[in-house]
Amino acid sequence: MTPDSLTPAVRGPRSLLARIRDLMAQQDDAQARLDRLTDIIAEETASDVCSIYLVRPSGALELSATHGLKAEAVHTTRLRAGEGLVGLVARRARPFSVEDAPSHPDFAYRPETGEEPFKSFVGVPILRGGRLVGVLTAQTKAVRPSTEEEIETLQTVAMLLAEIVASGDLVSSEAFSGLEVRLSKPERFQGKALSGGLVVGVAVKHEPHVRAQRMVADDETVELQRLDEAIGRLRRSVDQLLDSGRVPMGTPSREVLEAYRMFAHDRGWLNQLREAVRAGLTAEAAVERVRNEHRARLMKARDVHFRERLHDLEDLANRLLRHLARSEDVADQLPENAVLIARSVGPAELLDFDRSRLAGIALEEGSVTSHAAIVAKALGLPMVGRVEGALDRIEDGDPVILDGEFGLLHARPSEEVRAVYDERIESQAARRRVYAGLRGAPATTRDGVRLSLQMNAGLLIEMSRLADSGAEGVGLFRTEFQFMVSDTLPRLNAQTELYTAIFEAAGDQPVVFRTLDLGGDKVTPYTPSMREPNPAMGWRALRMGLDRPGLTRYQLRALVRAAAGRDLKVLFPMVAKPAEFAEARAMLDQEVEHARRHGHEPPKSVRAGFMLETPAIAFQPDACLAMADFVSLGANDLMQYFFAADRENPKVADRYDAISPSAIALLTSIREACDRHGKPINVCGELAGRPLEACVLGALGYRTLSMAAGSIGPVKRALAGCDLGKLKAWLDEAVTDSGCDDLRARLMEAGDAAGLSPESVDTFKSI
């Protein structure tokens, strides 16, 4: 026997793919088609054995079809997860071959299969979306190495097989009823709540590409040409953006695009794509296959830099698929109650979806401070982040439940889980009806104290909720969102138009405009950026604005022009010393004078305030208060600085409590300082929007609270059942108790003894 006779005479993948395509067009039952498929693969690859193992819900691999092994072993032989050479392929999610399988330490002999005569072994994973569907193997009697061509051919077939399995064609066959062909069992993903709310809906997987419809190429030359043309367009689009000047040097966006440009010229990646086309796939299918392999490796990689590189390659593949589908200008039509399942989503992209159909969003990435999360809150959309594996474990059309209160995503929920959520949703609907009944009523406590509840906003679209919420104005309009969703610095006219539209939407109700709070986690493509060890206390907000006065004066000029003939209230964030506020106020005065000199109608009145959110000002506020017309208490940042505890870090979350003796003492001293100077103070942020905290703030003497629109109803109901005088007396006594280490729990238990009605306590517990 010559050495050449030990190598199989592989006929080539094109012939094999053509035969598979003809086979799948036949109407045989599922088992017959799989059996015939193994016959074709064995024949085309000159193998003595070809077998298909599919994954069961338990994780075991079941022999589901074979050519060469005993027929009675089909649907009988099962390998535990990780068992044998088949399990080794599954565990690694990569091809594996060995010349003499029985001599390998992981070899697991199963006598019922009759595989003792066979020596060589090659196996490739059957992957779909990075999820293991099964393993495809080939064996020969000869002891011989597997060729790259053989492995390449089996990988191509495995990709097609994954689509066949996932299509559901096998489900109708009784023999496959116990296999995890299409995910059907209930699954629960614990993530992180990014935007509150509950929704029962339908999953819509959002990946930034269209999945390939044609898998097998009709003409290799045409497909290679399509691939090369798309790669060329991809490279030009990245080059044009980098050369346009729209993405400044040193910014994160620039770094990402530079990485894309490097990967777009990566020979290894491009060669993989071209080889897949030469193996008989369409250009789209080739990109899918290479992308799928990278994702499987990404899921197993431990090295952070390696994972980042693979992530970039996958994202680049998505962009390439969009270039291949450039002639398909068909917008995705969302079903009713669509729950978007995505890796990540941008704020501008989120605004493009049909709001009447989009009911919620689940992300594999995401954080509370991400731009998308902020927009989701503004739109009242439930959002859950950090649901790892959701894209791989959920299919389009799966029923899902998104719990934005506890950060949960339920896929294919059981009847019991669905019943629990139906009850919760009905309970929430009943509460909303109660809140709607309070919409036109003033926020008045049980002992007759009147408070003003205002709304926070950051987008023009949010202003539509002003009337529906019952808010008495906009206590905080965050102006940075217009900048974050734009690729370039918004021009003066664009800023002026937005602020004018905000004034018009508010009508006679007041609006407080906060100047840009950029920096930290809020980065734009055109503002300076740097890596900081603690961005929350770094170069951000007014600090950046004073160091870049042109940016601040540009915005103040737009605000002054938009406020022509109206009352203008401007709020400066992150003031740490009086000189900063004095400099910012001087800029505002200069812009008002500039408007007068150039013939623009000035505002009817101009008032300047500062965000009190740094301990430096909280403990010595008099100098700033003497210069200010009003104050906004940024309680969220102030409390995290006060407790030295990042409120987003679950490991220290229990160290952060605004209802504690020390925090109450600080909040009381701030309110007393404002009273001494006769300056109104508004508490804005999440703290003001929590019913229990709102009642405590009212008891401490705060009379204006600003919050998310959806929080106004619950806070108004809680205040209506609260006796502030009685609560103040209870707090005064409780904070002097040296043994009081859990004031919040004692307050919840005190109920009417602390001036809290059963309705108020019920509202606290429901939020």
Q: Is residue 621 part of a domain?
A: yes
Residue that has been written with the tokens 């024949």 in this structure: 43
Which tens digit of pLDDT belongs to each residue from 227-285?
888 888 878 877 765 665 544 444 334 444 565 566 677 777 788 888 888 888 888 88
DSSP assignment of 273-323: HHHHHHTTB-HHHHHHHHHHHHHHHHHH---HHHHHHHHHHHHHHHHHHHH
Average pLDDT (178-186) is: 63
Q: Are 652 and 646 in contact (CB under 8 A)?
A: yes
205/265 same-domain check: no
Domain boundary among 428, 450, 485: 428
Same domain, yes or no, for 198 and 165? Answer: no
Whether residues 133 and 42 share a domain: the answer is yes
**Sign of the alpha-carbon torsion through 597, 603, 604, 610:** negative
Query: Are 340 and 239 members of one domain?
Result: no
Strand partners, 748: none
471 located within any domain = yes
Min mean pLDDT across 136-145, 566-575, 654-663, 684-693 is at: 654-663
Q: Are residues 139 and 193 in the same domain?
A: no
Determine, yes or no, domain membership for 215: no
Mean per-residue pLDDT, 671-685: 95
Q: Which of 146, 171, 196 is the last residue of a domain?
A: 171
The answer on pLDDT for 709 being more than 50 is yes
Does the pLDDT at position 653 exceed 60? yes
DSSP assignment of 71-111: GGGTTT-EE-TT-HHHHHHHHHTS-EEESSGGGSTT----G
Domain limits for position 266: 220-324
Looking at the fold, whether 163 and 269 belong to one and the same domain comes out as no
As for how many domains the chain has, the answer is 4
pLDDT value of position 306: 44
Helix (H, G, I), strand (E, B) or coil at 55: strand
Residue 293's pLDDT band (boundaries 50, 70, 90)?
A: confident
Across the chain, mean pLDDT equals 82
Average the pLDDT over 716-740 and give the result.
88
The answer to whether the beta carbons of residues 361 and 343 sit under 8 Å apart is: no
401 token code pair = 């439940």
Q: Decide which of 536 and 95 is more confident.
A: 95
Q: Would you state the pLDDT for residue 299? A: 52
Nearest Cα to Cα of residue 222 among 276, 289, 277, 290:
277
CATH for 695: 3.20.20.60
Report residue 401: phi and psi, to 5°.
Answer: -125, 125
Residue 181 lies in a domain: no
| CATH number for position 87 | 3.30.450.40
Task: Give the count of beta carbons closer than 10 Å to the beta carbon of residue 429.
Answer: 10
Q: Does residue 180 form part of some domain?
A: no
Residue 306 shares a structural domain with residue 336: no
Position 757 in a domain: yes
**136 in a structural domain:** yes
The stretch 504-530 carries a mean pLDDT of 72
pLDDT digits (tens, 9 = 90+) for 43-92: 888 899 999 999 887 788 999 999 999 999 999 999 987 899 999 999 88
Residue 177 lies in a domain: no
Report the pLDDT value the prediction gives residue 612, as an integer from 0 to 100. Answer: 96
For residues 311 and 456, membership in a common domain is answered with no
Entry pTM: 0.63
Q: Is the domain of 240 the same as that of 367?
A: no
Give catalytic residue positions.
371, 684
Across the strands, what pairs with 114? none
Q: Are residues 258 and 382 in the same domain?
A: no
As a whole number, mean pLDDT of residues 595-618 equals 94
596's enclosing H/E stretch is helix 578-597
User: Higher confidence at residue 340 or residue 298?
Assistant: 340
Rounded to whole angstroms, how far apart are CA atoms 523 and 529? 7
Alpha carbon distance 433, 283 (integer Å): 54
Q: Which helix (H) or strand (E) holds 664?
A: helix 661-677
Q: How many Å separate Cα 315 from the centre of its chain?
A: 15
Distance CA 240, CA 51 (A): 49
Residue with tokens 């019952």: 470
**760 and 693 together in one domain:** yes
| 316 and 376 housed in the same domain | no
> Does position 737 have pLDDT exceeding 60, yes or no?
yes
Residue 244: give its domain's CATH number. 1.10.274.10
Let me know if 419 is exposed, middle or buried by CB neighbors in 10 A (0-12, 13-18, 19+): exposed
Boundary of a domain, candidates 283, 305, 324:
324
Confidence of residue 127 (pLDDT cuts 50, 70, 90): confident
66 Rama class: left (phi>0) / alpha (psi -120 to 50) / beta = beta
The pLDDT assigned to 573 comes to 92
Range 671-675 contact pairs with CB under 8 angstroms and sequence separation of 24 or more: 671/700, 671/701, 671/702, 672/701, 673/621, 673/622, 673/625, 674/621, 674/625, 674/631, 675/701
- Which one is predicted more confidently, 234 or 588? 588
